[in-house]
Structure 1
Amino acid sequence: IQSQISQIMLLLSFTGRYFPKRPKRLLIVEAKFDGEQLATDPVEHTDQPEFATELAWELDRKALHQHRLQRTPIKLQCFVLDPVSSSKENIGYIVLDLRAAQEKKQAPKWYPLLNNKYIKFKSEIQVGVVLETDSKALVDGFKAKEAPPREGKASALLSGLDPKSIVPVLNKEEGCHQIGPAEHCRDYFVLSVTVAFATQLEQLVPTTMKLPERQPEFFFYYSLLGNDVTNEPFTDLINPNFEPERASVRIRSTVDVLQVYLCAQSKLQIHLCCGDQSLGSSEIPLSGLLKKGNVEIDQHPVVIEGAFVLVPPNRAKHKLPQLPLDMAPTVGVSVILQRESLSAQLVVPLNASTGPNQPQEKVLSATKGKTETLQQRSQNAPSQVNHSSSTQDEATESDVESLKFEKGMKVKKKADNGPVGACQPNPVGASSSSEPVSAQKILIPAASHHFCFSIDLRSIRGLEVGFPINCILRYSYPFFGSAAPIMTSPPVEVRKNMEVFLPQSYCAFDFATIPHQLQDTFLRLPLLVELWHKDKTSKDLLLGVARLQLSNVLASEKTRFLGGNGKQCWRQTYNETVSVTAAQGSGSRIADLSYAITLEDHGLVKTQEVLVSDSSQCVGAGQQRHVPHAQPRAPEKHPEPRETLEYKAALELEMWKEMQEDIFENQLKKKEMVHMQVLAEEWKKREREREALVKKKVAEYTVLEEQLQKTLRDLDKRERQLFSAESELQTVKKELQAEHERKLQELQDSVRRAREECAHQVELERSKIKQLEEDKLRLQQQLNEAENKHKILEKEFQQYKDQQSSKPEIKLQSEINLLTLEKVELERKLESATKSKLHYKQQWTRALKELARIKQREQENAVAHLKKQQQELEHMRLRYLAAEEKELEKTDRQELEDIRNELNRLKQQEEERKQLQDVGDNSAGRVSNSRKLNENMDDYLSRLIEERDTLLRTGVYNHEDHIVSELDRQIREAIAKRNITK
């Protein structure tokens, strides 16, 4: 449970503002932390949404420290929920730093939404971050661990029930817990748990444990069918005084299912707690309540009762050896399971009511007889569990006192005349008894000493109560032989600022016990003296309690004196004034009590059986001397026996013997005193030597302890340094890892973007090439049509030439004119085709220029960002462009070759036509034709030069390329032809 105290609850609360109003939408906030995602309840989408839900995570302090070292963020995401389509839209997020969270309450802060979808609105969310100690984990830590099913496993499998699936379900309508399937739950039962008493609880408090400064409160805790039950707290562990309490639960089930459930939940854990700490726990096996084929529950209740040993948490964890049974701390528990019909019949004898309308009932006063029966069993067998049915035995208060008397030492109290009075000593080893007829025998062990303890409560002074009181002091110490309280009488009036001496406040106790046991008891158990105010009109009022530490008398100086039988005895006396603290409230001082206590040791007691009777004139050893009487004779025949000479001589002899015995005893006593003094001196001498040796050893041990503490401090300091260095190294490592991942992600994003951009550019170029290919096909089709027309014209011209020889000359002239018109038309078409081809070449030139710019830009980006990867892509692109250029070069070369062939053919035709025309033309027409031919040659030459310069300006071609060298050759040929023509 101490490990559960370190549990921390991380709480988040939310409020929003500056949101747009969306009537048919809902807002929800989701938070992710520690691998767990939580969400608030949906709220209306208003301008100031109120999130009425708190989000909480449970984690221990070690995990919280690790999260803070690792800077684990808390990510909050805000969603808009559509109730109709159940779709969610992320409108923003917030990242919180866990290191800013503190355990003390802090004011919430406003955080703006990052990546806000509402651009026109500056939406904000107020987040409150609180760290609280998880109190629920303290209660859950007490619950018993789930044990595997034992006897009921096979029957559960046969009946088709899994023992782990059987859990109690609260039925509020019927006021009971339902165990098992509803169709099988036909019977009603009552399960009751009673915590009756406890013993030796002081053994559970370790010396290293720090109890609260004020008066600590202790209580017992257990869980009954998921209901947490605690009894009334008590403050005294040595004499735990609490009312036995009974908790009952009404169950609806069947005997078979209940048997399976009890076997699965095999143990009931009961914890002794102080605040939020468990001092010890005990396990009560429940599997023995119901067994297979057990029909006892139909006739009478089944019971598990007894005293169970409380085991400290450290002993259960480290498997420490257990204490002896007579010294072990125990708790008396009774577990009763019965049918509801039987419980109705047993209400009166059990003095417990089980309400049918409440699932759990806590009984504040249980049966006295049952409690005392458990106490009696605890004395006989403290750790034994008795499985039996409900018993009818009842014990009285005298029986309880006799049990306590037998458990303690064989003691006796002096018989007094009044309630306290001056007590007359009884013989050693005798004991007061309440049985007047039958005598009681007490066996006193040989190692016991005869002690006489007296206490004198002298005066009360320094009263701090605001009213005069009728003072009565009351105390009880069962170790002296009786648990009955002892009170001063009569009451005396005490006022403020006065001292009052108490009458009849002296009491003495004679008892026999072992000195070691006496010392241990005085050290452990203080004497509690209660201060009561006795009022005639109302009940007595307990004002305060004074704690008398009886072990102080053992440390006082011993004085020697002779006892009544002539034996040497020792006496120790102690006087003190203690404070009386208030019984209720803050425990402040309300008065001072002066007292004196005396302890007398009368030496060893021989092993004997002491016969106790009502007569107070018994001999100390329980024996009497019986003097034999002679038979009486007649006075006239025999004289008086005491007057005879023989009697007188025998009497003188007996007196001389007694005198010699007294002289011998006195000499022995003197020798004994001398020997005792010698032994005392020798003992003191050896004691001084032992003390010197012990002081020397203590000094050595102190030096060694200081060295060890210094070494431990150094080790602790080194460990802290190592831990801090390791934490810093871990933090730096995580930061470097995060930086590496971030840079790698950025590089991957840049590569991806470059690839996408390159693919986009390639796609654009492909689309442009496709468009150019379509234009090329269209122009090729037009060229084919022109060639077809030209072929037709050639055929017609051939026919014309064939007909020319047979027709007259006028027809020939008209046909020449017609052919001239057709020639003009063909020239016009040729010129338009040439212009189209020039336009196509200009478009291609612009495409080449754009391609060159793209190439240059891609080369720069590849050199700056992609290095080796982009170089490969550049090589691929260059190869693709080279292949494309080669293809284009082949296409252009073929086109130029076709154009040149066409031009040559047209020139030949033109020359033939000119020759035909020159037959009928004069010299002036011949000069004009040659001038026109020169003009066409100049246009052709200028067009070739322009094409060559355009290709060179693109930067893709140079003078060494085949197409440029071919154009140069054609230009030279054209220049040569023009010069010849001129």
Structure 2
Amino acid sequence: MAAKSDQLLIVVSILEGRHFPKSPRLSLVVQASFDGEHLETDPVEHREQPQFSTELAWELDRKTLHQHRLQRTPIKLQCFTLDSISKKKENVGYIVLDLRSVQEVRQEPRWYQLLSSRYTKQKPALLIATILENDSKAAEPSPETFKAKKAPPRQGSASVTDLLPDKLEAQLIPDQGYHQVGPADRCTDMFVLSVTVAFATKLEQLIPSTKKLSAEDSGFFFYYSLLGNDITSEPFHNLLSPDFEPERASVRIRSSKQLLQAFLSQQPSLQIHLCCGNHSLGSTDVSLSALAAASVDLQDKAAIVEGAFILQPPKRIKLPPLPADLQPTVGVAVTLRREELAPQPSLGKKDPIRGPSLHVPPAVAPSAEQRAQSSSPVQKPPDSSPPLPPPSSPTESEAESLLEELELHKKQAAAAADVEDPGPLLGQPESAADGGASSISVSAPKVSIPSSAHHYCFSLDLHSLGKLSLPHPIAATLRYSYQFFGSSGPIMTNPPVELQRNMEASLPQSYCAFDFASLPHQLQDTFLRVPLVVELWDRGSSSRDQLMGLASIQLHHLLSSEKTRSTGSALEPSWRQTHQDRIPVVHPQRPTERVAELSYVATLEDLGFIKAKEILVSDSSQNERPAVPLSSSHPTAPKPSLQPTVPQGPAALTAPITTRDTLEYRAALELEMWKEEQEDLFDDQLRQKELRHMQALAEEWKKRDGEREALVKKKELEFNLLEEKLQKMLSDLEKREKQLAEAELQTQRLQRELKVEHDLTQKELQEDSRRLQRECDHRVALEREKVRLMEEERGRLLQQIADGESRYKQLEKEFQLYREQQNVRPEFRLQSEVNLLTLEKVELERKLESTTKSKLHYKQQWGRALKELARFKQREQENAMARLKKQQAELEAMRLRYLATEEKESVRQDRQELDGIRNELNRLKKQEEERLGPAPAEPDSAPSLNLNESAEEHLSRLLEERDTLLRTGVYTHEDRIIAELNRQIQEAMRDRKL
């Protein structure tokens, strides 16, 4: 059995039509559209049964066919009328073919009636056959293929639509952060395509009453795909009142208006799914045809498709039909605008940008399956970092290290006191010397923050790892550091995640936020120059960790992303920029080798200006970072503790050192205070955690109570519907029972009436039968009497017939005898002859009279005919004279040319004949002389003979030409050419006689 070819042809055969009105001036054309590709049949005559007999085919592979069947891509046939004079094209109707019904087995053609037909009374239809065929040309390519280059277009010959490619695709330009549609030389404008999911209502109707109304761990969310990017909304856990912030997903597209509209017309509808984990509870289709309309002017305003779209449950889930006010809906707005235009509010009075917007330039948002496995959302606000682990009491090793550090500081202070004079410490301001003890080290210099600096908050969420190319699984841990944020220590994800081949794993404890102050140009310069390098480590069972790969996050993409207004004070607004992407993790020694793929979300929030103040920075980080750290947090590393204190001021150096003034005592006291503080913090965290748990339980109870209430309401609604149905059925049954009782009474009444009528009819029939019996007996008696009389009459008539026959025979004998006697007499024969002659005479007189009348009639007809002939002859003579006068000059010229030609021809023939005769005579003379010797010659005999023969031929030719011209009927003997021919004939005859 031969293997199936991967390349297929979808063949649609348009055979004929029926029930079309007859229109001689118009012709019919059928246009087929599939996946943005349009094919047309040849124009045919617009009659009752037009004959198309055309096959239209599209090429595709099996994988693409499967995708189209999943997306239910239709094959649309549109029938148009074409005016041959004005070239006007009008739509008659259309037919939609289901791609899933097209099989590889040949099926019988079917009649499809035109939808939305202009001919409503006649209901026209088309006979169509569909089949899937193997593309033999694609499966077995010819070795000697030749592909001609496309001829360059002539200037002014092709329109813009003729120059558009048949298949447009959106090509991602990663380094520029946009998609490109069409050739690069024709992409002149930048557009922004935005999709906003604003609100949702009546979502609980998508859950069957037999299923428990509760969300999984991931909750409910909306999912759709935008130019190959999977977008998911923020999860929510309550279907009764969906509470989620409207999110906008935007992609930047570089193209032109014509190319972009053609690309959007080729795209299928945007499918938006309501998902719960890996399952789709319902979906809706948002058509992008309005964005691709040629009438939309994208130069001045944006094209918007918006509205509340009904969510349809999957086909496998059977739900009862719902009224219009209980239909589940989702509010969606799709906007296409130029990048220079500001986004316009849509969806009526609802503002689709109430919350943070999700900008996805070339980034890929997590899919529905990934979203269900991950506990962190796609986009986190900078102030929503995960809680730190509860602090524990300091161990003995931590206390020993702290005491060693304090001893080192003590030695350094003592060495400084021995070298220098009594006074303030080096680098210590007077205010610090005069003041008391401080919790900050006096060796820390102060840094002044300029008033133009901004307060920034940068957060990084390393979302997931996937597409591992190694054959063995690894225990993956990510590590990175970026000194510009004020954190010199590395940030690591913990615990390690097992990453296997062809699997995507979410990273726990991977969110980190940094608060710092910097100048805007300094931030842009650093983000442009220095990438954030993420290291992938394998912390397996081996003795040491192994560096598996490096991923470079280009932070300048974050600066080019869309800015959105963030929540903050009205006086100091803040702006947020978010960038989401998937980047490759390459091998440390072989940069071209790809190890895995990292998905991350980076957010930068500008919180406005910072008031001028001084921040103390430690020496270890003073020369390493240009920005001033304000705070930092990480789930795997607690915030750094404060620096230990040292004595300050000259009084601390000159006063005697007591037990309470020693560094050890202060360190121990600070350690005890830190322990108490940590215990208080731990108790507070426990109380907050208990409060959060109680709130979560209350919310869960409230949610489940709401779910139960919704379920009860739903059940109550169903029961009300059933009760209404039962009431209706009961009322119908009561009506039927009443109708049956009335029908029974009517039937009994009819039975009584019918019985009475039957009795009356029976009596009448009996009376009629008795009367008929008497009448029949009387008639029989009368008939018997008539029969007897008829028999008597019959006997009498038979006797009369016998007597008449005997008399007839007797008379016949007598008549025969009389005839014989009469025939013997001669006067009888003479009389008969006289009678015959008299008849002949009468006949001859009649013929004579008719002949006389005919002669008179023919004389009259002959006279009229002679008069008519005279008129015709006179008219013909006048016409002939006019024609002769008109053609005289032409005939004269023709005669002269003809005579000249004939003369030349006759002279030439005569010369040829004379030459031939002369040659023949010479030859004969030579032969005669050779045979007989010299003899007297007769030079005039042979030439005279030949001349006579040529004269005879010339005379016969002249006679033939004259007779031919006379036979045509155009020429007569009086014409000049005939007279000329007669003269030449006479001369030729005269010459022949001579």
TM-score range, shorter chain: under 0.3
- How does the TM-score come out when normalised to structure 1? 0.24
- How does the TM-score come out when normalised to structure 2? 0.24
Indicate the structure whose relative CO is greater, using CA pairs within 8 Å and at least 6 residues apart.
2
